[in-house]
Amino acid sequence: MMSLNRRILFSATLVLLVFIMGIALTLDRAFYDSARLGVKDRLFAKLLMLMGDAEVEDSGELDVPTNLLDAELGHVNSDTYAYIVAPTNTISWRSNSSFNKPIPTISLLEKGKKEFSQITLNDEPYFIYRYGVAWKTPAGDYPLTFIVITDSVLFEAQVERYREDLWGWLSIMAIFLLATQMLVLHWGLQPLRKVSTELAAIESGQQEKLKGNYPREIQVLTDSINSLINHEHKQQKRYRNGLADLAHSLKTPLAVLQGTIQSEGDETIRQKTIQEQIDRMDNTIQYQLRRAATAGSSPGMGLIMLRPMVDRIVNTVTKAYRDKNPCIIIEIDESISLQIDEGDLMELLGNLIDNAFKWCRQNICLSASYQENQVIIQVKDDGPGIRSPEITRILERGVRADQSTPGHGIGLAIVRDIIQVYGGELSIENNSTGGLCVVLRLKKNKQH
Express each pLDDT in 193-222 by its tens digit: 888 888 888 888 888 888 878 888 888 888
Residue type at 134 in one-letter notation: A
277 alpha carbon, distance to own chain's centre? 59
The reply to whether 181 falls in a domain is no
CB atoms inside a 10 Å sphere around CB 413: 23
**Residues 257 and 346 both lie in one domain:** no
Confidence of residue 264 (pLDDT cuts 50, 70, 90): low
**Residues 270 and 372 both lie in one domain:** no
**Phi-psi bin for 56: left (phi > 0), alpha (psi -120 to 50), beta?**
beta
The reply to whether 357 falls in a domain is yes
Last residue of a domain, one of 131, 158, 185: 158
Distance from C-alpha of 426 to C-alpha of 437, rounded to nearest angstrom: 11
**Residues 410 and 323 both lie in one domain:** yes
Half-sphere exposure of 328 (CA within 13 A, CB side): 19
275 alpha carbon, distance to own chain's centre? 61
The reply to whether 194 falls in a domain is no
How large is the average pLDDT for residues 268-272?
80
Distance from C-alpha of 433 to C-alpha of 430, rounded to nearest angstrom: 8
Compare 241 and 326 and report the one with higher pLDDT. Answer: 326
The reply to whether 425 falls in a domain is yes
pLDDT tens column, 167-198: 999 999 989 998 998 888 888 888 888 888 88
How large is the average pLDDT for residues 300-322?
86
**CATH number of the domain enclosing 65:** 3.30.450
**Residues 282 and 313 both lie in one domain:** no
Residues in the chain: 448
Last residue of a domain, one of 158, 177, 206: 158
6-10, 72-76, 192-196, 329-333: the lowest-pLDDT one: 72-76
Q: Residue 108: what pLDDT?
A: 86
**Residues 341 and 270 both lie in one domain:** no
Helix axes 4-53, 153-188, angle to 10 degrees: 160
Compare 53 and 296 and report the one with higher pLDDT. Answer: 53
**Residues 266 and 307 both lie in one domain:** no
3 secondary structure, DSSP code: -
**Residues 56 and 97 both lie in one domain:** yes
**CATH number of the domain enclosing 427:** 3.30.565.10
**Residues 242 and 152 both lie in one domain:** no
Query: CA angle at residue 418 from 429 to 347, to 5 degrees?
Result: 90
pLDDT at 405 over 60: no
Nearest to 377 by CA among 389, 385, 368: 368
**Residues 106 and 83 both lie in one domain:** yes
Distance from C-alpha of 357 to C-alpha of 301, rounded to nearest angstrom: 30
Rg, the chain, Cα only: 50
367: containing domain: 303-443
pLDDT at 392 over 70: yes
The reply to whether 421 falls in a domain is yes
Q: Residue 402: what pLDDT?
A: 45
DSSP string, 363-401: EEEEEEEEETTEEEEEEEE-S----HHHHHHHHSTT--G
**Residues 45 and 95 both lie in one domain:** yes
**Residues 14 and 152 both lie in one domain:** yes
Sheet with 425-430, side-by-side order of all strands: 327-332, 363-371, 374-381, 436-443, 425-430
114 alpha carbon, distance to own chain's centre? 59
- Percent of the chain clearing pLDDT 90 (strictly above): 28
Distance from C-alpha of 288 to C-alpha of 27, rounded to nearest angstrom: 78
Confidence of residue 400 (pLDDT cuts 50, 70, 90): very low
Q: Residue 11: what pLDDT?
A: 87
**Residues 90 and 235 both lie in one domain:** no
The reply to whether 204 falls in a domain is no
**Summary mean pLDDT of the chain:** 83
pLDDT at 368 over 90: yes
Nearest to 256 by CA among 243, 269, 246: 269
The pTM of this model reads 0.51
Compare 300 and 418 and report the one with higher pLDDT. Answer: 418
Distance from C-alpha of 399 to C-alpha of 82, rounded to nearest angstrom: 115
Is-contact 436 386, C-beta < 8 A? Answer: yes
The reply to whether 235 falls in a domain is yes
How large is the average pLDDT for residues 416-430?
87
The reply to whether 188 falls in a domain is no
Distance from C-alpha of 181 to C-alpha of 416, rounded to nearest angstrom: 56
Last residue of a domain, one of 261, 293, 325: 293
Secondary-structure percent of the chain, ordered helix, strand, coil, rounded to 5? 55, 20, 25
221 secondary structure, DSSP code: H
- Percent of the chain clearing pLDDT 70 (strictly above): 88
How large is the average pLDDT for residues 409-417?
74
Distance from C-alpha of 95 to C-alpha of 388, rounded to nearest angstrom: 126
DSSP string, 54-99: -EE-TTS-EE--SS-S-HHHH-TT-SEEEEEE-TTSSEEEE-GGGT
Q: Residue 295: what pLDDT?
A: 58
Distance from C-alpha of 16 to C-alpha of 381, rounded to nearest angstrom: 72
Split into its structural domains, the chain has a count of: 3
Nearest to 68 by CA among 35, 105, 93, 36: 93
